[in-house]
Structure 1
């Protein structure tokens, strides 16, 4: 399929080229998508795409909401930084100060910062290659108790490996211990409500009618294919790291299955289960940079700390390190930082991508905040930036530069 996408929504005067670029980027997308931009706290773009021949619903618009996948991790990070800014949470303190049970099995020195930067050594909920399936994945208390008792795969803080789902439960439990409410409830009361956001970690039933499901454009790899890939990296099937990575893949598949159901969307899956739209993502990130209608979430000092790189000196655990930095990502405290496969808004920007191509980000240097949400899961990080992003990113940066 190729052609011009049908775009609804609006762009402020001087930002019309973003609308045109968004339409070009969506021309070959089999799904629907949204793009929203704030500039110095002011909304300037709020668009949706769902054209003839696309599988996105005809009713899809800027008010629709969908799964955010790992963009959710940025929402969780905002909650942790809010508590830190209020003096309630020391990000460099041991996790066990707030969650005593977590100090078991060699984790006593693990810091909250280690959780936020994927250095905790607990990338999966189990050491069984089949992972935690459904309904166990939705049992928060059991998952948190298991994580507290598990022994890490490496010395916490000494290596980096993405914690695809466990990140949300680890950081989320610290937030719950400090704030006294779940991470979803804290986000709703302290972040979403003051800003009027259509963002949730645990979708309320009254919003279900606005939900649009996601879909994948290619088959998921089989367990045998995953095992073969890991074996090619030098990991034997019995290696604990191989078991954990295969468990992660199985757990991600279970999470995706869960999010296709009302029960899964209502549950709090704070590593990947956030639901919302691009307009609200953009507004959230704008409120990290400065006031949005009188509401600012984080101070400049807090944001600068959050976007300072924490893991560039670390490699994944052997044999995944590759000896040359292969496979490394750049992380601040809970936020992704620009890298070749995820250029965001250039150096100095921060945010978080999500499986399939979702993206929330901001750049203090030019005052930009952007949200992008899609229904077709097509982005492959190993192949570089999502082609759907390329043109509108350039147009957004150019439009902002023209107003500097």
Structure 2
């Protein structure tokens, strides 16, 4: 069995065992964390950071979690809403006047967070993702694909720029800077949007699925021509220095399972973790208010969307291209996070849910 490092409550032994099984099945590396009441009951890692299996995955190894980043960006917006600095029912153009171009006056802030704004497509070159003014100007000049609020379509790359520019207009700070100052800094969480160069040595590169190379890009289930990570983004793009440095708030966040679970425990625990309060309880509940229930035009499957989170019964969260996943359940005050550098084909990838299922086994024992 693969060597698993870290600590865990014996009730949750199924979680490290599940990670070991994945490594034994051929995965390179990864980390898993389960937090209950804001405290870790599982914090484990194992495997390697490189495809050649020569560099061990360490406690402080971080990895690009792709679309799990969206939950961090959403949290920033929710904090501003809770403070009364951002109105989810306001037109986006109240904060970003240029956005009103091409008939977008009726797009509301809540539409951006719930993938109902009608701007799901990134139609620019990959290099423009690294240029914030160019990316946001491109989106401000676009017209919507549908009447805002009437349909949903996963905004795989665009959501981060849309929400991020609103955050910037309200606070004068980028999403990455706001997250660092107002969220990860106070919590002591090792998560970054816009990775400083001093952390490069800790970042595990993404490894394509077996039989694929760094030109691999994955398609959403109902959209075979578009990448889940964003309309033509390849593994080599995600592994580039430009990607790490850029703030792409829908997809370029770097962290480990511990940092993801710690931050998202804010929502699972009523707004406060470790004596640090970031949200009111009402502010937490707002994230899970249903905004859409129906077929997602991009994902090609039924979806329920809240304000920045996918809604799945009593659990909420989202996953990222390549396999990383975050799920939280306020009823149990539990967060489960799994991050990995080993990509698999999306249609064949059940690893995140296997970790979640294993965590629930431990939770049942904890309740007894």
Question: TM above 0.5, one fold?
Answer: yes
Which structure 1 residue ranges, 5 or more long, are not aligned?
127-131, 234-241, 339-346
Q: Deviations over 1:169-225 (max 9, x none)?
A: 0010001001111111111111110011110000011111111100111548999x9
Task: Mark the structure with the bigger radius of gyration.
Answer: 1
1:105 corresponds to 2:102 = yes
CA distance in 1, matches of 2:14, 2:322: 25
Question: Higher strand share goes to which structure?
Answer: 2
C-alpha contact (below 8 Å) 2:336/2:356 kept by paired residues: no
Q: 1:199 aligns with which of 171, 174, 191?
A: 191
Q: In structure 1, what is the Cα distance between the partners aligned to 2:49 and 2:144?
A: 50
Structure 2 Cα separation of the partners of residues 107 and 200 of structure 1: 31
Structure 1 residue 272 displacement after superposition: 0.5
Structure 1 residues 160 and 376: CA distance shift in structure 2, 3 A? same
Residues 52 and 337 of structure 1: is their aligned pair in 2 closer, same or farther, counting only changes over 3 Å? closer
- Selected match of 2:335 from 350, 369, 379: 369
3-state SS in 2 of match to 1:305? helix
Change (3 A) 1:120 1:53: closer
**Does residue 1:149 correspond to 2:146, yes or no?**
no
Matched residue of 1:377: which SS? coil
Cα distance in structure 2, aligned partners of 1:281 and 1:31: 20
C-alpha deviation, 1:104, in angstroms: 1.2
Instruction: Determine the structure 1 residue equivalent to 2:311.
Output: 337
Query: Residue 264 of structure 2 is aligned with which of 275, 280, 285?
Result: 285
Offset of residue 30 of structure 1: 2.6
The 5 Å alignment of 1:66-85 reads: 66-85=63-82
Structure 2: runs of 5+ lacking an equivalent: none
Partners of 1:261 and 1:51 in 2: how far apart?
Answer: 19
CA-CA distance at 1:267 after TM superposition: 0.9
Q: Equivalences for 1:5-20 in 2 at 5 Å?
A: 5-20=2-17
The DSSP-based 3-state class of the residue aligned with 1:216 is coil
Q: CA deviation at 1:51?
A: 6.8
- Render the CA deviation track for 1:289-335: whole Å, top value 9, x for unaligned: 233221132222222221122110x4445xx79xxxx6222211001
Q: Contact 2:49–2:341 at 8 Å: present in 1 too?
A: no
Change (3 A) 1:25 1:258: closer
Does 1:135 pair with 2:127? yes
Residues 103-138 of structure 1: CA deviation (Å, up to 9, x unaligned): 111110000111111111111233xxxxx2242221
Q: Per the alignment, in what secondary structure is the counterpart of residue 99 of structure 2?
A: helix
2:288 aligned to 307, 320, 330, which one? 307
| Secondary structure in structure 1 of the residue aligned to 2:20 | helix
How many residues get paired?
363
The range that moved more, 256-265 or 266-275, is: 256-265
The question of whether the paired residues in 2 share the 8 Å contact of 1:25 and 1:392 is answered with no
